[in-house]
């Protein structure tokens, strides 16, 4: 049972962003004991669906865990074992687990509209890609490239399109709707993402992070959000970009993470699930010096170093909490200590990085602390 006063405080904080005109719409869901116990939407119809951006990565990871448990996939094997086209330009030694942990060495490898629609186009892109970092030595987040490779592994081993395999292996058995690769005639009620706000000034960045950076000059705002806004396109939603193009309600993510906690259908081998959600294998620092705290299951663990808020968990979770957030402030995680799962979505891509991160910390902290004391 949740504390009603704490729930009210959480909902008021989430609603405030819409009431103040900072975000056009938000959606929030809380799971507990295998059920969704809070499901609220502000600024849109309750049935509205959102693109959760990189929260999608947990969905793709969950399909891979099934393949590992069935003995079809060895995470320590080179990617080229399953995708021979990848074995070019010194990439033959890159392993599957390195890709899952974002140490594969090709973070900005290009693949977009015009090539990503067909398997042939994707394989041609893999063959052209070159390493920009030494695999295994540097943690550099791979926004989409790595998950295109992982999707191809799923497609190869499952013998069907990767989005169909994700549905068969994960969402359908859990009673969830199709969340990746949405047919054109089923795209009603999906809210387009929009850019809001302005980037922080160099003075604000220095005050907040101790580093003087002019973000607007470094990465123009239209470039920063341009790739994300391509996921508004019906053709992108139909394809289902595996690194960030799922289409969900917050309740879908809350239920998915309840399944990660309880596995009611026995989908995953228990050892594989425990490893994917709890064993940290990558502690290399990110650009800001924060240890990655990533598993080879493709998830992030809150950790006990006092930096959970930098990883999208807020300040009130246990060190065992796990999840994966998404661009623009999307949150998705579960905490084995409390049994809570949390999903927070918005279609407002706030360009003010500092405000967005403080919002994330506030929402996540309130959402993770809903049980009576």
CATH number of the domain within which 307 lies: 3.40.710
Out of 139, 171, 203, a domain closes at 171
Angle at 68 between CA 147 and CA 60, to 5 degrees: 30
Residue 105 and residue 223 in one domain: no
Residue 206 binned pLDDT confidence (cut-offs 50, 70, 90) = confident
Q: Please, is 80 exposed, middle or buried when counting C-beta atoms within 10 Å of its C-beta (0-12, 13-18, 19+)? A: middle
Query: What span, in angstroms and rounded, lies between the C-alpha atoms of 63 and 59?
Result: 7
Residue 49 and residue 79 in one domain: no
Query: What span, in angstroms and rounded, lies between the C-alpha atoms of 360 and 370?
Result: 16
Task: Look at residue 220 and tell me if it is in a domain.
Answer: yes
Task: Look at residue 343 and tell me if it is in a domain.
Answer: yes
Query: What span, in angstroms and rounded, lies between the C-alpha atoms of 196 and 228?
Result: 13
**Residue 114 structural domain:** 65-171
Query: What span, in angstroms and rounded, lies between the C-alpha atoms of 334 and 321?
Result: 6
Residue 163 and residue 201 in one domain: no
Residue 209 and residue 147 in one domain: no
Residue 71 and residue 154 in one domain: yes
- Chain length of the chain: 373
Res 43: pLDDT: 98
Res 125: pLDDT: 97
- Distance, first Cα to last Cα, the chain: 11
Residue 188 and residue 332 in one domain: yes
Look at residue 221 and tell me whether its pLDDT is greater than 70: no
Give tens-digit pLDDT for 332-351.
Answer: 999 999 999 999 999 999 98
Residue 10 and residue 158 in one domain: no
Residue 172 binned pLDDT confidence (cut-offs 50, 70, 90) = very high
Out of 171, 193, 208, a domain closes at 171
Task: Look at residue 297 and tell me if it is in a domain.
Answer: yes
Residue 106: what are its φ and ψ, rounded to 5°?
A: -135, 55
Residue 211 binned pLDDT confidence (cut-offs 50, 70, 90) = confident
Task: Look at residue 330 and tell me if it is in a domain.
Answer: yes
Residue 222 binned pLDDT confidence (cut-offs 50, 70, 90) = low
Instruction: Measure CA 81 to chain center.
Output: 26
Give tens-digit pLDDT for 154-165.
Answer: 999 999 999 999
CA distances from 227 to 111, 193, 195, 223, 242 (A): 11, 11, 12, 7, 14
Res 282: pLDDT: 98
Residue 120 and residue 101 in one domain: yes
Average pLDDT over residues 27-54: 98
Mean pLDDT estimate for the chain: 95
Task: Look at residue 247 and tell me if it is in a domain.
Answer: yes
**Hey, is 356 helix, strand or coil?**
helix
Residue 252 and residue 302 in one domain: yes
Residue 286 and residue 199 in one domain: yes
Give this prediction's pTM. Answer: 0.95
Domain count, the chain: 2
Average pLDDT over residues 83-94: 97
Task: Look at residue 177 and tell me if it is in a domain.
Answer: no
Out of 111, 143, 171, a domain closes at 171
Per-residue DSSP letters for 11-36? HHHHHHHHHTTS-S-EEEEEEETTEE
**Hey, is 175 helix, strand or coil?**
coil
Residue 101 and residue 237 in one domain: no
Task: Look at residue 373 and tell me if it is in a domain.
Answer: no
Residue 243 and residue 166 in one domain: no
């Amino acid at each position: 049972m949740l504390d009603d006063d704490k729930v009210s405080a959480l909902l008021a904080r989430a609603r405030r962003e819409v009431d103040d005109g900072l975000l056009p719409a938000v959606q929030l869901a809380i799971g507990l004991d295998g059920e969704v116990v809070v499901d609220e939407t502000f600024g849109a119809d309750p049935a509205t669906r959102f693109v959760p951006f990189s929260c999608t990565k947990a969905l793709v990871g969950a399909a891979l865990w099934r393949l590992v448990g069935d003995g079809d996939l060895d995470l320590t094997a080179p990617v080229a074992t399953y995708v021979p086209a990848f074995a070019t330009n010194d990439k033959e030694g890159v392993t599957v687990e390195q890709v899952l942990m974002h140490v594969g060495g090709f973070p900005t490898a290009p693949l977009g509209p015009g090539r990503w629609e067909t398997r042939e186009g994707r394989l041609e892109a893999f063959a052209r890609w070159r390493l920009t970092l030494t695999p295994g030595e540097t943690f550099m987040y791979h926004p989409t490239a790595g998950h295109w490779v992982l999707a191809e592994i799923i497609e190869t081993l499952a013998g069907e399109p990767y989005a169909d395999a994700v549905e068969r292996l994960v969402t359908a058995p859990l009673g969830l709707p199709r969340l990746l690769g949405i047919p054109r005639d089923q795209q009603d009620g999906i809210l387009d993402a929009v850019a809001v706000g302005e980037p922080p000034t160099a003075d604000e960045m220095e005050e907040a992070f101790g580093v003087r950076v002019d973000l607007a000059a470094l990465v123009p705002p239209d470039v920063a959000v341009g790739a994300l806004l391509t996921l508004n396109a019906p053709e992108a939603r139909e394809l289902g970009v595996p690194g960030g193009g799922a289409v969900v309600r917050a309740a879908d993510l809350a239920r998915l993470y309840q399944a990660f906690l309880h596995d009611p259908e026995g989908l995953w081998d228990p050892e594989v699930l425990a490893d994917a959600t709890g064993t940290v294998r990558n502690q290399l620092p990110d650009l800001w010096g924060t240890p990655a705290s990533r598993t080879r299951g493709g998830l992030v663990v809150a950790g006990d170093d006092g930096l959970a808020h930098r990883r999208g968990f807020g300040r009130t979770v246990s060190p065992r909490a796990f999840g994966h957030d998404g661009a623009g402030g999307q949150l998705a995680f579960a905490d084995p200590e409390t049994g809570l799962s949390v999903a927070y979505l918005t279609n407002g891509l706030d360009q003010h990085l500092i405000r967005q991160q403080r919002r994330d910390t506030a929402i996540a902290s309130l959402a993770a602390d809903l049980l009576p004391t």
